[in-house]
Amino acid sequence: MVKSDNNIFECNNITVSFGSVHALQNVSVAFERGKIHAVVGQNGAGKTTFARVVAGLIQPSTGKILVNNKQMLGGDVKQARAAGVELVHQSFALPPSFTVAEAMQFGASNGKIYSRRGLEKFWQKHLDNLGVNVKSKQKIKDLPVETLQAVEIARALISDAKFLILDEPTAVLSPETTDKLFERVRQLKQSGVTIILVLHKLKEVLKIADTVTVLRGGKLVQSPISCENIDVKKLSAMIIGENASQNLANSNRAAPSVAIKPDTALDIKQLSTIKDVEGAALTDVNLTIAAGEIVGVAGIEGNGQRTLVRAIADMVGIKSGEIYLNDQNMTQMSHLERRSNGLRIIPFERNVEGLSLSSPLWENWSIRNYLQRPIFSLIKPKEDRKACNTNLKKWNVHYSNVDQLAGSLSGGNAQKVILSREMDDEAKLIIAAQPTRGLDIGATDFVWKSLRKARDNGCGILFISSDLDELFDISDRVIVFLSGQLVGEFMPPFDIKKIGAAMIEADL
Amino acid sequence: MNMQFITIFRALLFILLALALCSVIFVIAGFSAVELFESIIDGAFLRNGAMKHALRWAAPLFITSIGVIISFRAGYFNIGAQGQFYIGAIFAAFTAEWLNGAPAFVVIPACFIAGATGGALWALWPGLLRLKSGADEVITTLMGNFLASLILIYVTGGPLKDPSGSGQQASSRPLDEAYRLGNSYELSPTIIMIALSLGLFMWVIANRTTFGVVSGLAGRNATMVEWQGTKLLRVGLASFLISGGLAGIAGTVELMGPNGRLAAGFLPAHGFTAILIALVANLSIAGAAIAALFFGGLASAALYIPVMSGLPASAIEIINAAIALFITAKSKFLDKLFSLGRAKWKK
């Protein structure tokens, strides 16, 4: 890399590893001063890790970082800040009960004594200068999300930041407020601040950025690419990877081995939900899964996949529409009743939603049966332990005894415990949400085989994954979610470019 | 290492640490620590009839503490055992007053049902507030304690006031002898039987029913239980009701046994000692039986110490508080020490 005084930031051969996983591998990037640089990539491509390395939050295991041609230690926030680097996090870190002035002071505190009025006046001036329309007396919790972000950015600019990193700033914003944010970013650029934007949507990238940097699987694909010479099509091919689409064309994907039975496992009609606490609301979703079919759900995380699962599980309020399981209307049924009719869920977060880590294996395993009985019915722990033992053995779980705490198992084994609980013979519809996340190749393969086997036994399977290669390998059909809507349905052979484009709202 | 062994070792270690801290305090205050501990051990367990007294105090403490265990296991920190204990006793006292004259085999069961109902009701509203609107049960049950104490003062000075009472402390009319389960001199086998059978019954509930397993799982990870399809309302409410009901039964036992009447502010630390027992026992019902004996012994020693060695009875309260301090303050060092015993099976 050529050294240039014009570069505010350079890094050479950065590698960051978490255990055996390389989050970043030999990444070398240089950013020119006074421009807006976008960083893009799929989930898990290493964008956030990269942002955190730049901000000095993570120490890379190898590599060199230069800010203003000055060598940084890496992993030292204070030093990075002193050099003018500030990071605005993906999720906001402002204390809700503070006033805006207090929150701002909290970041800048230097031990002096202030009066409340003095503080408010001081920070009001700072906010006014940046054009943030907020009263410094207001409580953080009363602010709408876009104002919150503006405050968060203003806070990052307290210390004369010359280099600002915004990690997925548009993820929480509506289209109108996104425009406002971009306006603000352009103003900052004019006042001489260099900005890195970590972004998902390619249209936004092309709208705002001067250059774009593409990461894939922790490796640098290309950087910097001038935004004038690229279009959405080329960019999405870079993000997803040409190789992936070629591999796929060559792989002889097994067609569904049994003829798809006429009966449906899941039928969702015109489903709209209220806004869920943890994701986009669904609008007018129509989805049918036949018995013996695997339907893959693609989409950038947070676009309604989680809400879909929670709606099928009766965990989020339904505004309108109907849900049928095995041709039976389940819209008014509770989660438990749906389960007794054959619904099974492998939840997103294995260690929180799937298992109680501080409880014994047999309790974790038996709970599904226990919940189908009256609340005070007698149990025979000895027999249930035995049944658990037999089943876990059948699923090849490595453990020493069923009284062992679930938290003592490795990720793959813990997932197998969940599979053995959720994939019994009575299962009719299995929802597998990110079932291979964080698993090694062996365990991943096991999960795939199990899902295929369940499919061949006539189960309908809804398979949610952020790994497109995996989705294409497993699914008989792929649907794409964007902002709570089903925006595309694809049959094999899957065209990765089309699906990728649908995920990021690009018109091809 | 065996988990149960670790639990017992841990409890003993905390108690020893607490006693060590107390001896320092006592010595600084100018008492002889050795003499004090001698008289405590003597008063609690060795003296003639001491075991009987220890049992007399242990029985109601045990009943209340298993209630505390049920709610703590389910992840709800119902610290309102004291209030539920009072309201249970008040309900029982009203029932006895109302049925006065009826045969004992009618009145006694009726009083127990009323006592359990009263205690359960006093746990119901914090439970509903918690489960329906998320109000912190620690705050509401604590407030419930103060309310219950004030209601007790009102009841003993108003509706149930003993007209012949001449003492300074307001109290209700004494219960008819026929309705008493025991008195303050003798140990009542009936009360011991009640405590033991409740202990056994609740052990079955906690270890041999779906409720026991599900509430235990919910206490450790409520999210997982929700993803398994249960709304926590029923399990949660059941835990609150059982917890309060048992404290109410303990209140009834005190009323119909040793006390024989309601007195304003009787046994003011009962509920808190029960919480301490639950924690020392690490939420095990069998463990609570042993811990209840220990704290029952301390309670009986409290009456004995001033007589024997001229030392203040409040020494016992200091010891209780010190044990609470060590049990609740989680030491990183100790946790590390104990976690050594928990082997990992990573493969």
- Domains of chain A: total: 2
Judgement on whether residues A343 and A381 belong to the same structural domain of the protein? yes
| Beta-carbon separation of A375 and B214 below 8 A | yes
Considering only the beta carbons, identify the residue of B220, B238, B344 that sits closest to A358.
B220
The answer to whether position B124 is within a domain reads yes
| Beta-carbon separation of A356 and B205 below 8 A | no
Considering only the beta carbons, identify the residue of B210, B223, B238 that sits closest to A370.
B210
The answer to whether the beta carbons of residues A8 and A162 sit under 8 Å apart is yes
Q: Give the pLDDT band (50/70/90) at residue A90.
A: low
Check whether A133 has a pLDDT greater than 60: yes
Question: Which residues in chain B have Cβ-Cβ distances shorter than 8 Å to A334?
Answer: 229, 231
**Helices (H), ranges, A85-115:** 100-108
Helix (H, G, I), strand (E, B) or coil at A170: coil
Residue A491, number of CB atoms within 10 A of its CB = 10
Angle at A352 between CA A350 and CA A356, to 5 degrees: 95
In DSSP notation, B209-258 reads BHHHHHHHHHHH-HHHHHHTT--HHHHHHHHHHHHHHHHHHHHHHHIIII
In the block, residue with structure tokens 């591999």: A247
| Beta-carbon separation of B211 and A376 below 8 A | yes
Mean pLDDT of A281-307: 88
pLDDT of residue B343: 38
Token pair of B322 as six digits: 């010190």
A142-182 pLDDT, tens digit per residue, is: 887 778 878 888 887 776 778 889 888 876 666 667 787 88
A241-265 pLDDT, tens digit per residue, is: 655 444 433 344 444 444 444 578 8
Domain hosting residue A150, numbered range: 7-247
| Beta-carbon separation of A371 and B228 below 8 A | yes
Q: What count of residues does chain A have?
A: 508
- Which 8-state DSSP code applies to residue A264? E
Q: Which of A231-240, A434-443, B123-132 has the highest mean pLDDT?
A: B123-132
Q: In whole angstroms, what is the distance from residue A28 CA to residue A35 CA?
A: 18
The answer to whether position B201 is within a domain reads yes
Sheet-wide strand order for A460-464? A343-346, A429-433, A460-464, A294-298, A477-482, A485-490
pLDDT of residue A255: 47
Dmax (CA) of chain A: 76
pLDDT of residue B165: 65
Judgement on whether residues A219 and A270 belong to the same structural domain of the protein? no
Determine whether B224 is exposed, middle or buried from the number of CB atoms within 10 Å of its CB (0-12, 13-18, 19+).
Answer: buried
Considering only the beta carbons, identify the residue of A352, A364, A370 that sits closest to B223.
A352
pLDDT of residue A1: 44
Judgement on whether residues A220 and A264 belong to the same structural domain of the protein? no
> Which of A247, A277, A296 is the last residue in one of the domains?
A247
A456-487 pLDDT, tens digit per residue, is: 888 999 999 887 888 888 899 999 988 888 98
Judgement on whether residues A236 and A325 belong to the same structural domain of the protein? no
Judgement on whether residues A98 and A120 belong to the same structural domain of the protein? yes
| Beta-carbon separation of A367 and B225 below 8 A | yes
A51-72 pLDDT, tens digit per residue, is: 888 888 888 888 888 888 888 8
Judgement on whether residues A277 and A179 belong to the same structural domain of the protein? no
pLDDT of residue B336: 55
Question: Which residues in chain A have Cβ-Cβ distances shorter than 8 Å to B346?
Answer: 408-410
The answer to whether position B55 is within a domain reads no
CATH number of the CATH domain containing A373: 3.40.50.300
Q: In whole angstroms, what is the distance from residue B189 CA to residue B257 CA?
A: 11
Judgement on whether residues A220 and A329 belong to the same structural domain of the protein? no
Closest to A53 in 3D by CA, of A83, A30, A87, A4:
A87
Determine whether B134 is exposed, middle or buried from the number of CB atoms within 10 Å of its CB (0-12, 13-18, 19+).
Answer: exposed
- Which 8-state DSSP code applies to residue B259? I
The answer to whether position B194 is within a domain reads yes
Residue B272, number of CB atoms within 10 A of its CB = 18
Q: In whole angstroms, what is the distance from residue A223 CA to residue B191 CA?
A: 81
- Residue in chain A nearest B221 by alpha carbon: A356
The answer to whether position B254 is within a domain reads yes
Domain hosting residue B208, numbered range: 60-281
Beta bridge partners of B171: B263
A343-378 pLDDT, tens digit per residue, is: 999 998 888 899 998 899 999 999 988 988 888 889
Q: Give the pLDDT band (50/70/90) at residue A229.
A: confident
Beta bridge partners of A195: A36, A164
The answer to whether position B287 is within a domain reads no
Residue A195 phi, psi dihedral angles, 5° rounding? -130, 135
Judgement on whether residues A463 and A350 belong to the same structural domain of the protein? yes
Helix (H, G, I), strand (E, B) or coil at A425: coil
Which ipTM score applies to this complex? 0.81
The answer to whether position B252 is within a domain reads yes
Helix (H, G, I), strand (E, B) or coil at A343: strand
- Domains of chain B: total: 1
pLDDT of residue B253: 94
Beta bridge partners of A166: A88, A197
Residue B319, number of CB atoms within 10 A of its CB = 25
Q: Give the pLDDT band (50/70/90) at residue A398.
A: confident
Helix (H, G, I), strand (E, B) or coil at A32: strand
The answer to whether position A508 is within a domain reads no
Residue A169 phi, psi dihedral angles, 5° rounding? -70, -25
The answer to whether position A483 is within a domain reads yes
**pLDDT tens series, chain B, 347 aa:** 466 777 778 778 888 888 888 888 888 888 777 877 888 888 777 877 778 888 989 999 999 999 999 999 999 999 999 999 999 999 999 999 898 888 888 999 999 999 999 999 999 999 999 999 889 999 999 999 999 999 999 998 888 887 776 666 678 888 888 888 887 777 888 899 999 999 999 999 999 999 999 999 998 888 899 999 888 888 999 999 999 999 999 999 999 988 888 888 888 889 999 999 998 888 889 989 998 998 998 888 887 777 777 777 777 888 888 888 887 775 555 555 555 444 333 33
